[in-house]
Amino acid sequence: MPVKIITEPTFEPLTLQEAKDHLRVTHALEDSLITMAITTAREMAESYTQRALCAKTLEYYGNCFGYIIELPYPVVSAVTSVKYDDTDGIEQTLSATEYDVHLVSEPALVVRAYGKTWPAIRDQLNAVRIRYVAGYTSHAATPSPIKSAMLLIIGHLYENREELSNVKLEEMPLGSKALLNPYRVMSF
């Protein structure tokens, strides 16, 4: 189930000021470093939870239509298109009346509509492509435990800038995993 980012997020779950407050940094000398740590913390949290934390456009690639197609990286707010390569290898766009989208499920599901059948497709890799919007829609919509986990990660990155250390470094601070665990996505 390969997924490609089509449009990157336009915001982060945490602001620079929130991260600086957590780190107790009052100057602007390290703003670029802290901004980079915010993005890194989000990407680490996304990787761990398998959840999109900021609204972005994704494209799912599948080899065929299945009874149920799971869209990775919830929360999914919209499916914008379902495209496929027909038996002649020509890209077609499937009418929205041909499929149903279940956004409440996590991961979101695309299934064929009642009484409909999937079209014949070319027997090739990535013959089915579903474009959709996933992630929390605003800074305020991101759950606070996720933000708290990111702050722990940012603190860890800020304090442990070197690969070599006398202290045993963890991939992610243990407390951040505990905060993120309720948000981990389990596949059907």
Query: For 111-131, what is each residue's pLDDT tens digit?
Result: 999 999 999 999 999 999 999
Stretch among 47-51, 150-154, 155-159, 160-164 having the lowest mean pLDDT: 160-164
pTM (predicted TM-score) = 0.86
> Where in the chain does DSSP place strands (E)?
3-7, 56-62, 68-71, 76-85, 91-93, 99-102, 108-112, 128-134
Closest among 149, 131, 179 to 13, alpha carbons compared = 149
Q: Which CATH number fits domain 14-53+141-183: 1.20.120, 1.10.10, 2.60.40, 1.10.3230?
A: 1.10.3230
Sequence ranges of the chain with CATH classification 1.10.3230: 14-53+141-183
- CA atoms of 96 and 30, how far apart (whole Å): 48
Q: The sheet that has 68-71: what strands, in order across it?
A: 68-71, 108-112, 99-102
Query: For 18-47, what is each residue's pLDDT tens digit?
Result: 999 999 999 999 999 999 999 999 999 999
Q: Is the pLDDT of residue 173 over 90?
A: no
Closest among 171, 167, 178, 188 to 49, alpha carbons compared = 178
CA distances from 153 to 40, 86, 100, 105, 141 (A): 9, 46, 38, 28, 20
Query: For 89-104, what is each residue's pLDDT tens digit?
Result: 999 999 999 999 999 9
Per-residue pLDDT at 122? 92
Tokens of 132: 């959709």
Per the CB < 8 A criterion, the answer to whether 23 and 154 are in contact is yes
Closest among 55, 8, 22, 16 to 38, alpha carbons compared = 16
